[in-house]
């Protein structure tokens, strides 16, 4: 058998080097740098998410906001909407290596999120950032309408500066008669819609959906079935927020348990 010269052996080795980059395997470790999203020319953010969900590369989804996103207290032990979202993504859609992070904190406003941005968002290098905020900003207009709009725009710019796709939520409907300090919430909702439209951001309009449902005379009693108090969704309310998000991202399936489909297993 002829022996290869050192030079010939070196040339053959160089030829083989690119192969690992060509052939990838789902169980191969992927660094955080590998999860960054390259800009896709001509595609909307919604189209980008649909495309990314078809890919096998894992994604980092970060949810942030106030007590509603936090899921504090009022769920009675049921899942908050980020947790329902995680079940849909990581189990039902089989994306088990995706990471869902919830940094919502009760009592927060756009200002507190901006002040804590590096810890709450930046350190996780997210691919997608979901933001629901405004129920505390509007508390006696603690954050003025003008400042609120500026803060929202700045947050979106910072999300995109990380290479992340932003998603904005309007807060859920509240019972204003029982909390007059938040009577101006609808004005803040209008700002979210405006910013989403002008900045081409995915919008999950919970406020509009809940209001439309509440106005139906023969439908669900939103205040009793989706709220635990005048402000906070109960477990079913959180599921409804998650379902509307699934619809906006084109991942809703009425047969899936997280989307409201029936599920029972076993004989007992």
Domains, the chain, with CATH or none = 57-252 (3.40.50.1110)
Summarize pLDDT for 234-247 with one digit per residue, the tens.
999 999 999 999 99
151: CB partners within 8 A, 6+ apart: 110, 111, 114, 137, 143
CB of 166 closer than 8 Å to CB of 99? no
Could you give the CA distance from residue 96 to residue 150 in angstroms, rounded to a whole number? 37
Q: Which of 246, 250, 248 is nearest to 258 (CA)?
A: 246
- What pLDDT does residue 42 have? 53
Q: Write the CA distances from 216 to 209, 219, 222, integer angstroms.
A: 11, 5, 10
pTM greater than the 0.85 cutoff: no
Could you give the CA distance from residue 262 to residue 242 in angstroms, rounded to a whole number? 16
Which tokens go with 22? 């060509």
What's the burial of 20, exposed, middle or buried (CB within 10 Å: 0-12/13-18/19+)? exposed
Summarize pLDDT for 220-232 with one digit per residue, the tens.
999 999 999 999 9
List of the chain residues with pLDDT < 70: 1-42, 268
């Amino acid at each position: 058998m002829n022996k290869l010269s050192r030079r010939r052996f070196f040339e053959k080795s160089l030829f083989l080097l690119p192969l690992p980059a060509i052939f990838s395997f789902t169980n191969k470790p992927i660094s955080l740098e590998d999860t960054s999203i390259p800009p896709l020319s001509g595609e909307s953010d919604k189209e980008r998410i649909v495309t990314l969900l078809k890919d096998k590369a894992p994604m980092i989804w970060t949810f942030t906001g106030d007590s509603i996103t936090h899921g504090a207290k009022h769920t009675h032990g049921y899942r908050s909407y980020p947790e329902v979202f995680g079940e849909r993504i990581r189990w039902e859609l089989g994306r088990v290596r995706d990471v869902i992070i919830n940094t919502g904190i009760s009592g927060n406003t756009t200002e507190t999120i901006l002040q804590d941005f590096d810890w709450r968002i930046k350190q996780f290098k997210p691919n997608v950032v979901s933001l629901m905020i405004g129920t505390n900003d509007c508390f006696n207009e603690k954050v003025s309408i003008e400042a609120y709009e500026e803060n929202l725009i700045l947050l979106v710019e910072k999300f995109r500066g990380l290479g992340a796709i932003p998603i904005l939520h309007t807060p859920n409907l509240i019972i204003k008669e029982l909390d007059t300090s938040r009577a101006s919430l609808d004005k803040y909702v209008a700002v979210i819609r405006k910013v989403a439209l002008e900045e081409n951001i995915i919008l999950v309009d919970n406020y509009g959906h809940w209001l439309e449902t509440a106005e139906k005379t023969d439908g669900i009693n939103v205040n009793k079935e989706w709220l635990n108090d005048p402000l906070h969704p109960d477990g079913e309310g959180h599921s409804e927020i998650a379902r509307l998000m699934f619809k906006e991202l084109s991942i809703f399936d009425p047969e899936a348990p997280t989307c409201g489909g029936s599920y029972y297993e076993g004989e007992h």
